[in-house]
């Protein structure tokens, strides 16, 4: 009886570890100015030993465009990596895949994605797991929670920037008039 209780306790603790694993966007929510470049990290949190996995990301292509995707190949994902396919027309980053041998554990950066804010509004960033490369540990599939409540709000440049720019133009104009006299 004690053996069964011990077995159940070990099994439940292992399940809790796997259930605690998640993949999310960092920062979860941000505000940027139109025309601004910025990055977000896709991070794994509280993973057991992980040989790798993959993800897809969707966004509003009228508000954001992806400019680059990078993977930390020197320190984390050393075996095989695929930057995926960027589709800025439909707002999709498809099949980013990473792997390592031996596996990584704990918290880690999966990839860094560079964006350019091209339109005003709020774009939701939605993660889904790669169908072709699910997260795995020692040959078993891990089903991490994917945190999808992330968004980027793009706002116009602040009025102070326009005021500063018009003031500089006025000073240049006055300087040019004085130089002509």
- Could you state, in chain order, the average pLDDT of each consecutive group of 10 residues for the chain (181 residues)? 44 44 87 94 90 93 96 88 96 95 87 96 93 86 79 79 64 72 68
Q: pTM to 2 decimals? A: 0.74
Yes or no: say if 93 and 113 are a contact pair by the CB < 8 Å rule: yes
Q: What pLDDT was estimated at residue 165?
A: 64
Three-point CA angle 169, 171, 175, nearest 5°: 115
Tokens 């999310």 belong to residue: 24
> What is the token pair recorded at 166?
């018009």
Q: What pLDDT was estimated at residue 99?
A: 92
DSSP state of 144: P
Yes or no: say if 84 and 12 are a contact pair by the CB < 8 Å rule: no
Residue 70's φ and ψ, nearest 5 degrees, are -135, 150
Q: What pLDDT was estimated at residue 151?
A: 84
DSSP state of 135: -
Residue 63 to residue 166: CA distance in whole angstroms: 27
Contacts of 56 (CB under 8 A, 6+ apart): 84, 92, 93, 94, 95, 96, 127, 128, 129, 130
Residue 63 to residue 118: CA distance in whole angstroms: 5
Residue 6's φ and ψ, nearest 5 degrees, are -65, -45
């Amino acid at each position: 009886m004690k053996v069964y209780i011990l077995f159940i306790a070990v099994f439940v603790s292992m399940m809790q570890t796997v259930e605690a694993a998640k993949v999310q966007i960092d920062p979860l929510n941000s505000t940027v100015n139109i025309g601004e470049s910025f990055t977000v990290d896709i991070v794994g949190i509280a993973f057991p030993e992980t040989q790798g996995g993959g993800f897809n990301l969707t966004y509003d292509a009228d508000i954001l465009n992806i400019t680059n995707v990078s993977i930390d190949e020197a320190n984390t994902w050393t075996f095989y990596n695929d930057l995926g396919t960027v589709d800025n027309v439909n707002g999709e980053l498809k099949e980013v895949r990473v792997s390592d041998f031996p596996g990584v554990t704990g918290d880690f950066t999966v990839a860094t994605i560079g964006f350019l804010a091209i339109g005003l509004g709020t774009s939701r960033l939605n993660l889904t797991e790669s169908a072709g490369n699910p997260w795995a540990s020692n040959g078993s599939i891990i089903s991490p929670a994917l945190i999808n409540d992330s968004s980027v709000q793009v706002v116009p440049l602040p009025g102070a920037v326009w005021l500063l720019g018009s003031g500089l133009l006025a000073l240049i104009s006055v300087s040019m008039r004085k130089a002509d006299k």
